[in-house]
Structure 1
Amino acid sequence: MISMQGLIERAARLNPQGMATRCRGREQTWESLLQRVAKLAAALRATGIEDGERVALLSLNSDRYYESVFATCWAGGCVVPLNTRWVEAENAYALNDSAPLVLLFDDSFSEQARHLQAHCPSLRAAIHMDDGATPDWATDYEETIAAQAPLAPSRRGGEAMAGIFYTGGTTGFPKGVMQSHRGLWASAIGATQQFGMQPESVYLHAAPMFHIADFAGSMGATLQGAGHIMLPSFSAEAALGAFAGDGITHTLMVPSMIKMLLAHPAASSTDISSVQRIIYGASPMPAATLERCMDLWPSVGLVQAYGQTELAPIATLLSVEDHRAGGERLRSAGRPSAVSELRIVGEDGNDCPRGESGEVVVRGPQAMLGYWNKPEQTAEALQDGWVFTGDAGFVDEHGYLFIVDRVKDMIVSGGENVYTTEVENALMTHPAVQDCAVIGIPHEEWGEAVHAIVILRPGTGAAEGDLIAHCRKQIAGYKLPKGITFREEPLPLSGAGKVLKTELRKPWWEGRGRNVN
């Protein structure tokens, strides 16, 4: 049976003395990593973790993060990666929704973890997974491992839930996407050929490890028994340094990271001779950026992966060869992965003719099990095995998918999903706000920027900075409006009474070929 724990057992058989992880001066072979995972799994079981119970992670990237993901599955549990960019209230929602028994955290989130443990009744234990002093309300990661004998791996796998990955929600609350062992494996299998990893490859975790995009790269490397090197958090300088000094062969980045790399003064002088492929995804990439990257680093192959959390996350891939062919194909999201079926459907639910836009729907073994505790939203998004992505696009005569807009009001800013309802809800709690609408507008660095259009109550006043500061208490920084337009006339409405955001977007998107950047 396919299982997450089986993947690292396979890697240890395939490449026992090969480098598995390297981070902050620590290095593990696959053989030694397997033992550490089995001991950490025993510790999790000792806290009361039973099959299907949840374990939450709140940490920057590290080798211990990687071990914790697999130890949770080894113990028969289900991992809940928490968003390191969320404020405490957002992570508290996710914890109280998923009800994990254990929280693993690092020094960067020690204070937040302390508050979360106090306000999340399900939590029985907290494990400090960093090198600083362990708080008196938590247990030390290394001491926890050292105190245990290895546990035999759980037999749980296949369609059993392996993880709950929280993403934004149009209801204003995050949705927990339930992914199975098979789903996470299948998504990686579908991308194996294009990712091109081997046991001797070295994968750089540059994107945050809680993000399903990095999870895809991580799974691809694990399938091959390749090495993992972790940057705690992204910076262009650190990534270029890893390219030059750590023998990096593969990495996955969101487009905003690649733009930062290209803008760095050392981009043209850094030795990137080891780098074979840069995989990118999570938000649209301008063709001009791709061309610049290929001009600067002609030996590096680029691969685009399009998908979403509900697809674990890969639906389509644009190959190295497609990138080098150039032209209009650079605006494409590629063709379905080896495990994906893709359709374009109209509002009537029927398939659209080739070349005509409709909603992108995808089916395959990587499709989610559903949304945790949200049966109505599951029924809407998952129909007869097809995941309705909320993206609008068309397929050309060669089978390439082109994304042209979003059916749902989602903004992708710097690779992070921002749902407009969440931001609108925060704005509407300000006493001076009468009405508002949030849209995505073009931004050269982040792809899209969050922009609010606000109508103030008569007789009141509020400046842009006042409203942004008000929202900052409720939502993560990347969700905050980057700008606000004040207006007096009512927002445009459809016949059904819905705000016509297409009309509001027009001034910013006029003259562009598509309504995503």
Structure 2
Amino acid sequence: MYLTQPLHRAAQQTPDTPFTVYGESSTTARETYDVVSRIAGSLRDLGVTKDDRVGLLSLNTDRFCQIVLGGAWADAVIVPVNTRWSVKEIAYSLEEADVAVLFVDDPFTGLIDELRAQAPKLRAVVHCGDGEQPDAALPWADLLAADPVDDAHRQGDALAGIFYTGGTTGVPKGVMLGHRQICTAAMGMMMVQSQVPHGGAAILVAPAFHMAGFGAWVAGMLANMTTVPLPAFDPVLVMRSIAEQGAKQVLLVPTMIQMIVDHPEAGKHDLSSLELLIYGASPISEAVLGRARDVFTSARFLQAYGMTELSPATSFLIDEDHDDPVLRRSAGRAAPYARVRIVDPLDEEVPRGTVGEIVAAGDHVMLGYWKKPEETAEAVRDGWMHTGDGGYMDERGYVYVVDRIKDMIISGGENVYSVEVENAVAKHASVAQVAVIGVPDEQWGERVHAVVGLIPGATLTLGELREFCKQEIAGYKCPRSLEIVANFPMSAAGKILKRELRETAGGGT
């Protein structure tokens, strides 16, 4: 399997069916085939050869999809850039990956001169937007004027992309994923379900530079779906797009789900076409999950657990398991292509029910970190990817993620897992969003500190919250301080940045 394979099939079997719909523009499989082959021809004209890296700084658009496929068609490696990074971080990834050609979307054309100065290895920059043509970049029309070339059919363990992860702490790492790894994970996501949507439309709203969004896009292509990219998340736009396109599939991170189900227009759009709602990237509270199932009444829910290094998923919680109040707190069971274990610091498997580190092995494990052999050797040992997540496994193989190992709070000698506390706090009627962290405390070593966003018009005191949480969890796990915020620092993948919360935590009340 390889990334361009679904396009070949669509062009052969359903050539006049839309392959992408972006805004008012609909592009058929036949038209996409032609565009992709010309992008590849243009890359060849620009001197791109086998294994060269092609960068892509773009929002979710139809051209994002076309450029990724065009890069693979040209036997090159795609490097999607985190659109929320600073110029310095972007330039670092471009330089480290030796990117030869960079595609730049409209919102980022103002960065071209700085990027050229800080990433001198760039041979060419291409403008892939519809806005004013920058002088420092080649126009999109020039690419489409190139002669088409044949697909290189790059496949197997040949590198498909370098997906940079991190950047919020330390130096970003380029995760190397081959065509086999990405397609294995995408196909496995479909295999694990008892009912799989086919055809129709798939909404692509999670950032496609991130493997969660990228993987969902590939899965949609494999299921003969028309991709409907949305350049940015907006609750109303997502609901309207599902209704207008009759969409069958969407991937949302929990923060997106919460913003949709709590929006005043949640009941005003016809969402009945949606057959599959995939979620992941961060834990979801039971309270939000319950509200989501009330809004997306026709959708089957699928939780995917993993990380970029796992292409990106290694376990799934299928829809049927969501009906069990115990199982829906889990991250599901190992995917058909994966092996999952819980190990101690010596990499020995621990007994069922014992907390340790979650590790995974299989064809979805990354090829390594780009130019970082020591970090690769530390992360992947004897074929097992060490996730850095703490968790346990029950007797039936369900994995329960209790915390990032580095996020575990040790208060008064007791281990407190922030996810468990967050689930309890989230059930309070006044709470819209919550993150729990450990902050230094002279008496307890660390104390449990809750950072909370309230629903409009609500109030909450520490005393009220503690009394409420004592009904759900042990007293030593209950928050000992409370901080109420209007907004949370978020990563591009929709994760709350706890590192920033720790840096700014003022002790609360």
SS at match of 1:66: helix
Q: CA deviation at 1:357?
A: 1.1
Residue 484 (structure 1) aligns with: 504
Q: Which segment is superposed worse, 166-175 or 62-71?
A: 166-175
Do 1:287 and 1:331's aligned partners in 2 also have CA atoms closer than 8 Å?
yes
Q: CA deviation at 1:447?
A: 5.4
Stretches of structure 1 lacking an aligned partner (at least 5 in a row): 412-438, 455-470, 488-506, 509-517
Give CA-to-partner distance per residue, 1:305-346, whole Å, 9 cap, x none.
0000001001011111111x2311111101111111111111
Residue 174 (structure 2) aligns with: 176
Aligned partners of 1:345, 1:9: CA distance in 2, in Å? Answer: 43
Q: CA deviation at 1:450?
A: 8.2
Residue 406 (structure 1) aligns with: 404
Residue 226 (structure 1) aligns with: 225
| Paired letter, 2:316 | L
Residue 419 (structure 1) aligns with: none
Equivalent residues in 2 for 1:499-514, closer than 5 Å: none
Q: Residue 355 of structure 1: which of 348, 353, 356 is its match?
A: 353
Do 1:201 and 1:226's aligned partners in 2 also have CA atoms closer than 8 Å?
yes
| Paired letter, 1:117 | R
| Paired letter, 2:185 | S
Q: Residue 187 of structure 1: which of 185, 188, 195 is its match?
A: 185
- Does 1:79 find its partner at 2:78? yes
Q: Note closer, same or farther for the CA distance 1:105–1:21 as it changes in structure 2 (3 Å cut).
A: same
Residue 108 (structure 1) aligns with: 107
Residue 275 (structure 2) aligns with: 276
Aligned partners of 2:333, 2:303: CA distance in 1, in Å? Answer: 10
Aligned partners of 2:245, 2:359: CA distance in 1, in Å? Answer: 40
**TM-score, normalised relative to structure 2:** 0.81
- Does 1:257 find its partner at 2:256? yes
Residue 448 (structure 1) aligns with: 435
| Paired letter, 1:26 | S
Aligned partners of 1:447, 1:8: CA distance in 2, in Å? Answer: 42
Aligned partners of 1:140, 1:245: CA distance in 2, in Å? Answer: 32
Residue 295 (structure 1) aligns with: 294
| Paired letter, 1:333 | A
| Paired letter, 2:303 | Q
Residue 200 (structure 1) aligns with: 199
Residue 381 (structure 2) aligns with: 383
Aligned partners of 2:2, 2:309: CA distance in 1, in Å? Answer: 19
Q: CA deviation at 1:85?
A: 1.1
| Paired letter, 1:399 | G
Give CA-to-partner distance per residue, 1:10-30, whole Å, 9 cap, x none.
332343222110102111111
Q: Note closer, same or farther for the CA distance 1:166–1:402 as it changes in structure 2 (3 Å cut).
A: same
- Does 1:157 find its partner at 2:155? yes
Q: Note closer, same or farther for the CA distance 1:445–1:311 as it changes in structure 2 (3 Å cut).
A: farther
Q: Note closer, same or farther for the CA distance 1:39–1:450 as it changes in structure 2 (3 Å cut).
A: farther
Q: Note closer, same or farther for the CA distance 1:55–1:295 as it changes in structure 2 (3 Å cut).
A: same
Q: CA deviation at 1:182?
A: 0.5
Q: Note closer, same or farther for the CA distance 1:311–1:477 as it changes in structure 2 (3 Å cut).
A: closer
Q: CA deviation at 1:143?
A: 3.1
Aligned partners of 1:453, 1:111: CA distance in 2, in Å? Answer: 42
Do 2:89 and 2:167's aligned partners in 1 also have CA atoms closer than 8 Å?
no
Residue 364 (structure 2) aligns with: 366
Aligned partners of 1:477, 1:356: CA distance in 2, in Å? Answer: 27
| Paired letter, 2:359 | V
Q: CA deviation at 1:6?
A: 2.5
| Paired letter, 1:208 | P
Do 2:3 and 2:218's aligned partners in 1 also have CA atoms closer than 8 Å?
no
Structural RMSD (CA): 2.8
Q: How many equivalent residue pairs? A: 441
Aligned partners of 1:312, 1:447: CA distance in 2, in Å? Answer: 28
Give CA-to-partner distance per residue, 1:73-107, whole Å, 9 cap, x none.
11011011111111111111111111100111111
Q: CA deviation at 1:197?
A: 4.8
What percent of counterpart residues are identical?
Answer: 38
Aligned partners of 1:170, 1:55: CA distance in 2, in Å? Answer: 23
SS at match of 1:151: coil
| Paired letter, 1:294 | R
SS at match of 1:113: helix
- Higher relative CO (Cα under 8 Å, sequence separation at least 6) belongs to 1
Do 2:310 and 2:364's aligned partners in 1 also have CA atoms closer than 8 Å?
yes
